[in-house]
Amino acid sequence: MLRKFVSWFEIAALLAVAVFIGMLFLNDPTAPPATPAAAVEAAGGIDGGAIYGNRCAGCHGGDGSGGIGPRLAGKVVTRFPDPAAQIAVVRDGRRGMPSFATRLSPEEIAAVVEYTRTVLGS
């Protein structure tokens, strides 16, 4: 009887792990809004929206509505009144958020932060 319970428990645990892994890889976040041309030009030709879509949307949602990571839409400017504080979080990471210091240049990080503040933050 105990052996039968353990077998069913193992099957249920494996199924839960398979579903979790499937959700990680099959997550199709909403496409982020386009970066206005003026914002791309102001960021030295770096498209913060494209970087956000590739690096951030999987956790924060394409539209910034949240998911694995916290909601950014409508809240990021309130949470980070000083853009330098937000840049530090993206650069250095915090709690569950990884550091992007080795994955993105300082200019790319600044472009993503500007995108989240101007396009998603409003």
Dist. CA 1–CA 61, nearest whole Å: 46
Is position 20 within any domain? no
CATH number of the domain enclosing 104 = 1.10.760.10
The reported pTM is: 0.72
Q: Which domain holds residue 33?
A: 29-120
Is position 58 within any domain? yes
**Tally of structural domains, the chain:** 1
Is position 24 within any domain? no
Dist. CA 46–CA 83, nearest whole Å: 17
Is position 3 within any domain? no
Is position 14 within any domain? no
Give the tens place of pLDDT for each residue, 40-98: 777 788 999 999 999 999 999 999 998 889 999 989 999 999 999 999 999 999 998 99
Is position 62 within any domain? yes
